[in-house]
Amino acid sequence: MNDSLKAALKKAKRKQVLKIILISIIVLLVLLPILYKTGNYFAAQSSSRLHEQLFLHNAISEPNIQIDSQVTSNSTMFGGNIVTNRSKNINGYVVPWSTLTSSYDWIRTSIDHNERIPGFYWSDTEFYEYDKQTKNKVATFYHPSINEYFYVQSELEEVSQLENHVAEVAVSFDEPLTLKEIQEKIPDNLNIVWLYMTSPIADESSGPSGVPIYGFDPSDSPQESYEYFMDELEKYNLRVDDKTLGEFLDNNKQKHVDKVKILGVMLTGQTQNFKTLEDQDFIRGSSIGATAEMVPYIKPDK
């Protein structure tokens, strides 16, 4: 092969390589915006879905927990985080509650269950649940159909002895009551901030099984709040297909809130106002949750 032919082949090869590089750059420049737009679309869809899941769970299964803000963080075209800042309203005193940092990508969403599920303190003399970040005690409910619990708290006497404080207390009934019956039994100087409606029945004899509890805040309008709760619970159950929730929805979907049986209530108020509930026979268990010391510059709701 003569030198001129070799030179021609090298030149043609260089042109071919340059052509391939040029085409690759053009394709890349065209594909990058498409990939970026597509990635952002799928990330936004997952982010929106995760936002809805977090708000939905708060609406049906977080006793006296309010979402103060919920914002997207570390967002990229591939995914990101959603940070949920939460608190509790204890008779007009706002106390911090654990912050959730949930994540999403194009396909999956992951709620921050680690912070949402309480921690447990267990010793020879004491047992209670607590919020992992704030270390505040978590109020515990007890299902009236479960005969044996590892430990049933009865803390109304203790809370009424706590001076100059406001507190929340989970009161579980010995048998289910209607809203009217509850309103007749609970003194007016306490706030009914959450109704415990249902939860799975599990073996609690050797320790907490960690089953979720479901209910809602009736304070604005009990009937409207109940209808909203049932709609949200139905949406939630379409995803989880839980037998307990399915039976509860079937039995109560068409009922007025006044006809529905309630398993317990979360109450808030000044600690001395809980004294009238001590030794009441309709109460199976009472568990103190978050508390706050009263100060002169914040007036309690009641």
Query: pLDDT tens across 88-117, in order?
Result: 999 999 999 999 999 999 888 989 989 999
DSSP conformational letter for 108: -
Q: Which long-range contacts (CB under 8 A, 24 or more apart) does 230-236 make?
A: 232/56, 232/59, 232/60, 233/60, 235/56, 236/56, 236/57, 236/60
All residue ranges of the chain with pLDDT < 50 are: none
Query: pLDDT tens across 263-302, in order?
Result: 999 999 999 999 999 989 999 999 999 999 999 999 999 9
pLDDT recorded at residue 261: 96
Residue 23 domain-assigned (yes or no): no
Residue 135 domain-assigned (yes or no): yes
pLDDT recorded at residue 205: 73
Residue 12 domain-assigned (yes or no): no
Sign of CA dihedral 57, 61, 63, 64: positive
Closest to 268 (Cα-Cα) out of 12, 43, 95? 95
pLDDT recorded at residue 289: 97
Residue 74 domain-assigned (yes or no): no
d(CA 171, CA 264): 6
Domain that holds residue 193: 118-293
Residue 59 domain-assigned (yes or no): no
**Number of domains into which the chain is organized:** 1
Residue 165 domain-assigned (yes or no): yes
Residue 76 domain-assigned (yes or no): no
Residue 30 domain-assigned (yes or no): no
Closest to 129 (Cα-Cα) out of 209, 214, 215, 217? 209
